[in-house]
Amino acid sequence: MLTTTFHLLIGLTALLMPGITLKPYAILLFVVGFVFSMQGTIGLLVWWPLAEMSR
């Protein structure tokens, strides 16, 4: 759910925020939030089975 929220925030910021100097920083903040939420939740569910299969 959190990764979806960050994806939506990135898209809405890119579409609706006027082209001011704050826009790239807002998008960067949301991308960093997405990466942290992805690696803390769904990312673990991907790497764990891959590690178990390589044994």
What is the SS3 string spanning 22-41? HHHHHHHHHHHHHHHHHHHC
Tens-place pLDDT, residues 9-39: 999 999 998 888 999 999 999 999 999 998 8
d(CA 28, CA 19): 14
In the predicted model, is pLDDT for residue 43 greater than 80?
no
Cα 34 to Cα 25: distance, rounded to the nearest angstrom = 14
